Amino acid sequence: MAVIVHQVARPQGWPVAEQFAYLDVPTPAPGPGQALVENLYLSVDPYMRERMDVDELGVPLEGRSIGQVVHSRDLLLSVGDLVLHRHGWRSHALVTHQEVRVLPVVPGLSLTTYLSVLGGTGLSAYVGLTRVAQLRTGETVFVSAAGGGVGSAAGQIARLLGAKRVIGSTGSAAKAEYLTSELGFDAAIDYTAGDLPGRLAAEAPDGIDVYLDNVGGGHLEAAIGALRPRGRIAWCGAVGQYNSVMPPAAPRNLFDIVEKQIRLEGFLVRDYKYLQTELEGFLVPYLQAGRVLAPETIVEGLPNMVDAFLSMLGGGNTGKMIVKV
């Protein structure tokens, strides 16, 4: 038997466990040109909350997954292949070779790295800094949700790209300590302590050049206030407002974008898949040398998929949230 996790109702504000259902179903059999994959690891990401508002009910949510081929009728997929695909929230999936990537086995790297710093998470950070914000050597960078998957990758990548100072914002004192002691951030702000604009100004008295935004709301407002003239904002996500019932208010200092000639650009990582090889060429040597870490919070068991998702939305993860099926 296989297990699938369906979304069965739309959330109003914060999602709850009752909006999902676990179902036992017969393990699917591959047809011609298909392979059956047994999922090993499932990615848990903030964007999934947005999908809950628009995706079809009664089916699993989409999500990045790593699995192993256990039965194949696709000539280009062999039993035992480890593959990356997007059929998440389930124990087994039918795939074709066109929709998977057969993963290499790289010495010194965990398989889960292809869901974290070498996956869409790390690629989001890399794209935001290199292509959107066009970070230059000697600049000061501010990263929100820095204790999460994208943020923890972004801080480390910014350092490798030559940033002079890297500042992160996160949701607890323990995470702030982790960012500075383990991940190389120069400073970390626990935003739950209040006065984010004032504390950011104290950590960057000369201002910031680049802001990688994963939160929106008050963080975006604080960053606009701290940005130097011609600063850049790479807007990756807005986890701070995904669960809002009412539309969020615009930052009160939004017009400062004009006054300071700031460039704000949103981006979708799916448009930058062609940079995957470049990302791996850049990061793999640092990962193997231990100069870049891949922080992960791994939850055991598909029956805990919903709990992991809800915990991630509430900031319960350090680094990338992953479910080990």
What are the tokens at 119?
A: 């996956």
Nearest to 196 by CA among 241, 152, 142, 157: 142
For the beta carbon of residue 245, count every other beta carbon within 10 angstroms: 8
Contact 16, 6 (CB under 8 A): no
What are the tokens at 51?
A: 């999908």
CATH class belonging to 120-270: alpha beta
Pairing state between β 320-324 and 296-300: parallel
Contact 191, 169 (CB under 8 A): yes
CATH class belonging to 2-116+295-324: alpha beta
Phi (first) and psi of residue 298, to 5 degrees: -105, 120
Q: Quote the DSSP letter at residue 112.
A: G
pTM: 0.95
Q: Where exactly does CATH 3.90.180.10 map onto the chain?
A: 2-116+295-324
Contact 39, 90 (CB under 8 A): yes
Given this model, what pLDDT does residue 147 score? 96
Q: Long-range contacts for 269-275 (Cβ within 8 Å, ≥24 apart)?
A: 269/120, 269/123, 269/124, 269/127, 269/236, 272/123, 272/127, 272/131, 273/123, 275/123, 275/126, 275/127, 275/131
Q: Where exactly does CATH 3.40.50.720 map onto the chain?
A: 120-270
Given this model, what pLDDT does residue 39 score? 98
Given this model, what pLDDT does residue 240 score? 74
Given this model, what pLDDT does residue 243 score? 77
Given this model, what pLDDT does residue 281 score? 97
Residue 262 one-letter amino acid: I
Kindly provide the residue ranges of all beta strands, DSSP E only, lying in 19-122, ordered along the sequence: 20-25, 35-44, 65-72, 82-85, 92-95, 101-102
Given this model, what pLDDT does residue 245 score? 66
Low-confidence ranges of the chain (pLDDT < 50): none
Nearest to 116 by CA among 55, 45, 187: 45
3-state secondary structure (DSSP) of residue 248 = coil
